[in-house]
């Protein structure tokens, strides 16, 4: 089977590496050097130009937002073949992906949204969880391909359902990171050692992925790696807020989380990691973590 993989970022690069071990994979990236390096190091084929990707049986995209995906769809639409399957692993907007699916369907091209969770470490180790929106038939076609990059592949519902549940679950994580950081800072200000505060949290009811895995490295060891851009996280929470608006729902905690993350993004800039919101919480209190 011929695959075209578009978007060799922090997630896409390792995902395409796994796929290239089992399939004939053509890679394309806006910055061409990354595609050339992928081809050199992982046995994929670097496309001469984007148009070359249209010859594939399966297209895979993982780009910042649905806007960039749509630009690629626009560019390739005239040359796509009937029967092609388009898998979009971007954390995108479910409403945009429904429209994209309709445009592709008019050309006989199937579409599933298949965003991923599990961070760069999950992409490196092929242990991602992947939530898929699409018909049962299209899910059945996509599943064996996605299984090469992930461990848990879940059919979430029709087109858009994958994108919707992805941004909702990321919003849960965002709110958890924020409240956990606030309470840990308060513990520190009260005079409790941060390691002790984390030990109690992780042995008790406040335990979460944030307290167990994300915060200790940053707050205790002072290591702040860039693994997931705050800009992407802010985008996800804003999409979740737009779903709430669309459903005429009352979700004040989600609204607050969105405002806090957007404010943090304005302070920290495009290249900040999402856990750096903890720095903003310290700044809001006129202090630092260490
Ligand atoms: P990166 O910022 O690392 O990579 C983005 C990719 O998109 C790069 O290949 C970049 O190309 C390409 N790109 C950006 N703008 C354009 C454009 N206008 N046209 C064509 N290509 C473009 O992002 P990630 O890999 O971290 O994230 C990708 C998606 O996965 C996002 O939706 C994110 O929310 C989601 N995600 C990320 C996770 C993470 O931990 N990083 C975890 C789960 C989901 P170039 O190399 O030229 O810049």
Question: 235 C-alpha vs ligand 1 centroid, how far in Å?
Answer: 12
Question: 265 C-alpha vs ligand 1 centroid, how far in Å?
Answer: 17
Q: Among 38, 93, 232, which residue has the most ligand 1 atoms within 8 Å of its CB, making it the best to mutate?
A: 232
Q: Among 4, 5, 11, which residue has the most ligand 1 atoms within 8 Å of its CB, making it the best to mutate?
A: 11
Asked if 31 and 5 count as a contact pair (C-beta separation under 8 A), the reply is no
117 touches ligand 1 (CB under 6 Å): yes
* CA–CA gap between residue 169 and residue 116 (Å, rounded): 11
Asked if 87 and 114 count as a contact pair (C-beta separation under 8 A), the reply is yes
Kindly give the confidence (pLDDT) of every residue in the chain, 290 residues in length, as a single tens digit, with 9 standing for 90 and above.
999 999 999 999 999 999 999 999 999 999 999 999 999 999 999 999 999 999 999 999 999 999 999 999 999 999 999 999 999 999 999 999 999 999 999 999 999 999 999 999 999 999 999 999 999 999 999 999 999 999 999 999 999 999 999 999 999 999 999 999 999 999 999 999 999 999 999 999 999 999 999 999 999 999 999 999 999 999 999 999 999 999 999 999 999 999 999 999 999 999 999 999 999 999 999 999 98
By annotation, the residues acting in catalysis are 166
pTM listed for this prediction: 0.95
pLDDT at 290: 87
pLDDT at 192: 98
Question: 70 C-alpha vs ligand 1 centroid, how far in Å?
Answer: 14
Question: 10 C-alpha vs ligand 1 centroid, how far in Å?
Answer: 7
* CA–CA gap between residue 93 and residue 240 (Å, rounded): 9
Tokens 């029709």 correspond to: 158
Name the burial class of residue 263, with classes exposed (0-12), middle (13-18) and buried (19+) by CB atoms within 10 angstroms of its CB: middle
29 touches ligand 1 (CB under 6 Å): yes
289 touches ligand 1 (CB under 6 Å): no
């Amino acid at each position: 089977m011929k695959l075209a993989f578009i978007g060799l970022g922090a997630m896409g690069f390792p995902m395409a590496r796994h796929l290239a071990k089992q399939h004939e994979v053509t890679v394309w990236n806006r910055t061409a050097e990354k595609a050339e390096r992928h081809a050199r190091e992982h046995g994929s084929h670097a496309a001469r130009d984007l148009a070359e990707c249209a010859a594939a049986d399966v297209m895979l995209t993982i780009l910042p937002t649905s806007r960039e995906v749509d630009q690629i769809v626009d560019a390739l639409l005239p040359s796509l073949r009937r029967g092609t399957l388009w898998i979009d692993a971007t954390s995108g907007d479910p409403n945009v992906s429904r429209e994209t699916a309709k445009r592709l369907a008019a050309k006989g091209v199937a579409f599933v949204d298949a965003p991923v969770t599990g961070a760069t470490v999950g992409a490196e180790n092929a242990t991602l969880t992947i939530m898929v929106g699409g018909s049962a038939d299209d899910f059945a076609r996509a599943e064996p391909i996605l299984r090469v990059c992930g461990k848990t592949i879940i059919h979430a519902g029709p087109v858009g359902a994958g994108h919707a549940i992805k941004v909702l679950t990321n919003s849960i994580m965002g709110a958890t990171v924020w409240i956990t950081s606030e309470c840990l800072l308060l513990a520190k200000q009260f005079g409790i050692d941060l390691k002790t505060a984390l030990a109690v949290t992780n042995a008790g009811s406040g335990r979460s992925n944030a307290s167990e895995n994300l915060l200790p490295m940053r707050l205790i060891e002072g290591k702040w790696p860039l693994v997931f851009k705050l800009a992407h996280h802010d985008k996800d929470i804003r999409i979740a807020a737009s779903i709430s608006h669309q459903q005429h729902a009352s979700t004040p905690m989600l609204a607050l989380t969105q405002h806090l993350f957007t404010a943090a993004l304005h302070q920290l800039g495009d290249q900040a990691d999402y856990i750096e919101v903890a720095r903003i919480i310290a700044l809001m209190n006129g202090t630092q973590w260490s």
